Structures are given as structure tokens and as C-alpha cells.
Amino acid sequence: FCGNDPDIIVTAAKMAEDYCDAIDLNLGCPQMIAKRGHYGAFLQDEWDLLEKIVRKCHKELKVPITCKIRVFESVDKTVQYAQMLERAGCQLLTVHGRTREMKGRLTGLADWKVIKAVKDAVRIPVFANGNIQYLSDVKRCMEETGVDGVMTAEGNLHNPALFAGVNPPIWQMCEEYLDFAEKYPCQLSYIRGHVFKILHHGLHLHPDIRDMVGVARSVECLRKAVLLIKERGLAEMDKEDFDSCGGLFGRLPLPYWYCQPYVRPSPEEEEDNRKKRDILTRLAVIEELVNVEGLSKNKVKKRLRNPNKDFTGKKKIKFDICTSDTCNNPRGQKCNHNLCKSCCRRKTSVEVVDCEGHKIHFTTHPELLKRQMADRVMGDIAPCDNRTCDTSEDTDSASLLADNIDTYEHNEGGFSRASQKDKGWWA
């Protein structure tokens, strides 16, 4: 959970406490959305508020309250921060060994020494977070810091099999992930983001596949991109002279087709990498397509975003115009009266006719049946159950019969009982 209002956090936590083993308070998010919302790592200077939140959760919830924090520049202040949360009732503390400012290009390495200082100063269990790229890092971190457990985030994004201690082919992980994505649907942007992470190193070497992933509009489109990089990877495995570890921005620990961590470059390295990326990848592809296909650079860029883009000059499909004299809207392709939906609705309501194309059924509307029923009664028409209507009776009989039309339907020979589901209604 995240937030800055003790009452709201406790209320939300109570909705979940019967379905989980603990409630975790995220005090480590450094993103701009957390700054705008006033939560996450941007509460780490408001100790009174945090103590109140944690204490209230500890007192009123049936499950433990745990916290995740980022460190300060000062080791002593970080230790005091952790001790304050412990006194307030925090039952488990996760320490991310980076400061609030260490994100994006300024991420750098997490400081395990600060984590060790926190572990030595508190009595509750402590988990470490940061610099976990391989399974071997887990063991090394626990040995150096003495923590009770390890949490990892970005390492798992590039290699979901990190805790299994293996580095499977990137396409294998993507195929397995897309199977789960179809079984448990979510927004396509989330799925695309995870595919980008898993294929990260391969997409640098195959920019056309990166563009395919970027413009994918369905899971099936993503599967096609994964299949293409799989075909190329398998083909390059058989090439003896292919430099499989030669990443675009430096040497990779493993061939690019294996899941492996992404080490963020420094700001200076990032600027150099950007220039390489522009020269060796997208710009090179654009120049090649300009020469081969004879298109302008703008059209080539559109083609890269949408491979099915057509520049042959074919005109768009023209739709027939509504036949009403006062309307210029396109007519419905299946309209019985060659009208747009608005004009069709007006025509069918005035003339009391149906339109199958727009699914307008006025002739079966209950109000119309009421009027027809009343007209038949007033016209001395016998119902189908062989009872006769006496026209000498006053019009109250007709009104009464019309009011009960909800249980009848109109047939050729008279009226018969009708179920609710058989009655027509407006389109």
C-alpha cells in the first residue's frame, strides 16, 4: 500500500487483511507520480506522519505491518529512521540501498554497507534490495549484510527465472509470459513493457523487431515478433563467425539470446550510447529503406511504426450518403430504407415500420400493441379464446383490457398469452 492518510490506509488494509499474510507500506517509490501524490519515498522526511501511520496499522490490523524504505545520504540518519519505524510497530523492514535521488540515469549501485548498518541496529527481520542480478548475488548479499532475506525487482524483469538460477532463451521466457498474459488478461501496454524488458539486448541488435513490438496491437502481434527473433537467434547460433556477446553498447556476459541483467550506464556512457543507437540502428534502417523503396524519410518512419501502411495512393472507401433530403451522413450499409440511423429512427417511428439493419422494431413495441388491442376491442373484434367483446359497454372495458396488454401478444387470429421474453422492445 501507499498513501499519506493514516485513516484511509487502515481502511484499505482492512479490506485486504483477510486475504493476505501482511500489509506492506511502500515508502521507497522515488518516481514523479509519488512526488505528485505525496507518498512513497517523498514521505521519508515526515517522521511524525509515518510513525502515526505505522502505529495505527500495527494497532488496528489483524496481520503484521511491514515497510520498505530507501536510505539517506547519512548512515546514522538511515539507522534512526529504521529504528523509528521499528518502535512504531513495523514487523519487517526492507531496505533499498539507494537514495531517493538515485533513479533513471542516476541509478548507480546500491550500498550494502548501509543495509548492514540497519540490520545491526534493529531487532526485527530485515530484507535487502538492490544489485541483485544473478542468483549468486543473493547468497553474496546475505553473507555481506547479514539480512534475513533478499528482494529483487529489475533483475527479475530481464530474467524472470533469476531465482531458479538459470538463464533461459529470451523467446522461451516471452512465450511462457504471453501464455500467462492470455490466461490472465491485462492492458496491452503492461504486456508490451514486459516483453521489451525480456528481449532488451536482442532488440538493440534487431531494431525492426523492436519496432514490431512497439506498434503491436494484440498479444498475437507480440507473438509474431517473438517468433521472428527466435528464428534469427537460432540461425545466428549456427554461425561460427557471429559475435553473440557483442552488444551494441559493450560486451555482454552471455550471448544476447539468453536472459541476462541490464546494467544501467552512467550519464556520460548513456550519452555515448544514444549517439551509437542513432547511428547504428534506427537512422541506418531509415536510410536503407529510403534508398531501397524510394520513400521520403517521413513515410519510412510511418512504415516502421506501421508495417501495413499503404502509400500507393489508393483512395479511402467512400460510403453512400443517406437518402434523406436534409442529411449528409453516411447511410447504414444494411438499412432497409437507405438512411442513416437518426433518419431511419424518425421514419420508422412516424410510419410504424421496422428496420432490420438498424435493429429497430416498432411493430412489436408494447405501447403499439396496447393501441392495437384497444382498437380491436372498440371495433368489436373477438379475441382468440372465443370470448366476445360487447361494444355496448363503455370505453372503460377497452381501457381495462388495454392496460392488461402486458400479458398478451398480437397474432393473426386474435390475442394469445405471451411470455415477457417474447415481447418486442425499442432497438
Q: How do the pLDDT tens digits run along the chain, 427 residues long? A: 999 999 999 999 999 999 999 999 999 999 999 999 999 999 999 999 999 999 999 999 999 999 999 999 999 999 999 999 999 999 999 999 999 999 877 788 899 999 999 999 999 999 999 999 999 999 999 999 999 999 998 899 999 999 999 999 999 999 999 999 999 999 999 999 999 999 999 998 888 899 899 999 999 999 999 999 999 999 988 887 777 676 555 678 889 999 999 877 666 666 666 666 555 455 666 766 677 777 787 777 777 666 666 666 555 667 788 988 888 899 898 898 999 999 998 888 888 888 888 888 877 666 666 777 777 777 655 444 444 444 444 444 444 444 444 444 444 334 334 434 344 434 3
Distance (Å, whole) CA 382 – CA 235: 84
Number of DSSP helices (H) and strands (E) in the chain, helices first: 18, 11
Instruction: Single out the residue of 124, 114, 102 nearest to residue 144, CA to CA.
Output: 114
DSSP-derived letter for residue 41 is: G
Grid cell, residue 219, equals 498479444
Distance (Å, whole) CA 26 – CA 67: 6
Q: Among positive and negative, which fits the CA dihedral 75, 79, 80, 82?
A: positive
Grid coordinates 507520480 are at which residue?
33
Q: Could you give the residue numbers annotated as active site?
A: 29
Instruction: Single out the residue of 187, 190, 232, 192 nearest to residue 208, CA to CA.
Output: 232
Q: Record the pTM.
A: 0.62
Distance (Å, whole) CA 326 – CA 328: 7
Distance (Å, whole) CA 192 – CA 178: 10
